[in-house]
Amino acid sequence: MLDVAIHHAVVIDTEKGIEKKMNIGIKDDKIVRLTTDTLIATRVIEAKNLIASPGFIDVHGHVDGYAYSGELSACQGITTTVGGNCGLSPVDIADFFARQMRDGFVINQAELIGHSFSLRQAVGIADPYRQATPKEFVAMEELTRKALQAGACGVSFGLDYSPGASFAEITALANVCAEFNRIMPIHTRLFTQNDLYSLFEVLAVAKRTGVRLLISHFVYQYGTGIMEEALNIIDQAIQNGIDVKIDSGMYTDWTTFIGTATFDEQTIADNEMRFSDMIVASGKYIGKRLDRQLYLNMRKDYPNESVICFMGNKAEIYTALKKSYAMPSSDIGTYKKGEGHPQIAGSFPKYFKEMVKERRDLSLIEAVTKATLLPAKTFGFAHKGVIKVGSDADITLFDFEHLADKADFPDRGKPDAKPTGIEYVLVNGRLVVDQGRFTGKKAGRIVRG
């Protein structure tokens, strides 16, 4: 007998680009039936009026084994998350995977090896403005190779956090990444608000090494009035044969740790950021608007707390995500309950609600494909991103009419308020969200690159 049967769902076929009312049969962790016949199973889900999508794949997150972030991801319909982004990851990937398998986790996790914080720190570079020495290159290359051998799905960079990294340093790790044919997600470095050379320098790395690029949270980088120009550069690069994609969330207001180079006084001045546009996202001062005194205090005593910076042009979110090579992402971080940025709980429902239902920028099938099959292909996750016989039973069932994000910024609402409309989420055939409620089942697995 089947373990789970889903009846009467509108199934999105991401490979053929069609939708069809079907019944889905699941045995263990696989989809084994796709039929109009009535199925008999231990658990039958009546999914009339629900959309059956392959589970969403969040290509840009920082879940990294943190349980509450796993819960918030699952409740958005995410069944696989890619961690270790922006150059911040565990360095010993084999150990990280072993711990995740031993302890279990709610959703599937793939992990990147991160350059800008983690590898640099591991080889003894404390100053983000310093170039690595040739000896340090070699040490970082070795650690990268080890991580990729252990199954890391790529090498991530957060160049804003290591402004001193040289072209040679980035290229050295890109070569290793290309050797393994893995993906290289890059949070680019902008020295001024309109610094489009931040794109050319990473395209140059790709041209030199042949590495496949994913430019991270594109709207946070270029959603400040230069989106069209930035996308033109990407379009041109694709025409020139460079393998590059982008991801983005549904917000223009980004967040990061107050202690990073991004919040250095010089960077604030260079990018014309203002304290009055910054809100504390975590810790003792959550919800408070920054002033100079609070800024100095937090930089000194609370460097690992997050601050949200309000900026950007909202219309550019849609411009970016409409591109065929763009994927939605959350940039979820690790926060305690009640803390954070609304992206941690609202990103994917907001994407469907705004871009499909309200604005009609994308058809439902297009939107689903960009959140599932495109990421699976980009990262080479076999058997994911599609609902067909033989695929992994990662499925998100949602009520399109009632799909809505509820999370808000911490000065005006709950950043971790769960969305409505995500009714069932199956990870490897097990229900982690059941009738809209989180079950806490540790159904996730490690996804190796």
Partner 1 sequence: MKNIKRICFLGKGGIGKSVITANVSAALAKQGYKVLQVGNDISLSSTLVLRGEVEVTPALEEYRKKYMIKIEDYIIKSPSGVYCLELGSLEPGVGCMARGIHIIDEMLESQGAIDNLDLDYILYDISGDIPCTGFILPMRDGVMQKCIVVTNSSFPALVTANSMIAGIVRASKHKILPIGLLVNFADVYPARTQLTAYAEAIQLEEIAYLDYFQKIEYSELAGKTVLAAYPDSAATEAMMKLAKKIIEAKEHCVPKPLERKELLNWLSQWKQRSLAQKSGIIGIDDSSNI
Please give the residue ranges that form the binding site for partner 1 (CB under 8 A): 166-168, 191-198, 200-201, 203-204, 206-208, 226, 229, 237, 240, 242, 269-270
Residue closer to partner 1, measured from CB, 241 or 292: 241
CB of 214 to partner 1, least distance (A): 17
DSSP code, position 289:
B
Q: Going edge to edge, which strands form the sheet with 183-187? A: 113-114, 155-158, 183-187, 212-215, 244-248, 326-328
CA 133 to chain centre: 31
Residue closer to partner 1, measured from CB, 175 or 194: 194
CB of 148 to partner 1, least distance (A): 24
Residue closer to partner 1, measured from CB, 133 or 167: 167
Which 3 state secondary structure label does DSSP give 158? strand
CB of 233 to partner 1, least distance (A): 8
Q: Angle formed by the axes of helices 197-209 and 167-179, to 10°? A: 40
CB of 241 to partner 1, least distance (A): 10
Residue closer to partner 1, measured from CB, 123 or 202: 202
Pairing of strands 155-158, 113-114: parallel
Task: Give the C-alpha separation, 19 to 35, whole Å.
Answer: 13
The widest CA-to-CA distance across the chain, in whole angstroms, is 66
Residue closer to partner 1, measured from CB, 158 or 385: 158
CB of 236 to partner 1, least distance (A): 8
CB atoms inside a 10 Å sphere around CB 275: 15
CB of 309 to partner 1, least distance (A): 17
Task: Give the C-alpha separation, 371 to 442, whole Å.
Answer: 22
Residue closer to partner 1, measured from CB, 271 or 439: 271
Residue closer to partner 1, measured from CB, 316 or 331: 316
Residue closer to partner 1, measured from CB, 133 or 192: 192
Which 3 state secondary structure label does DSSP give 185? strand
CB of 327 to partner 1, least distance (A): 23
Q: What is the token pair recorded at 385?
A: 């991103």
DSSP code, position 288:
P
Which 3 state secondary structure label does DSSP give 251? coil
Q: Do the beta carbons of residue 116 and residue 158 sit within 8 Å?
A: yes
- Pinpoint the alpha helices (H) of 124-179: 134-149, 167-179
Tell me the CA end-to-end span of the chain in Å, nearest whole number. 33
CB of 125 to partner 1, least distance (A): 17
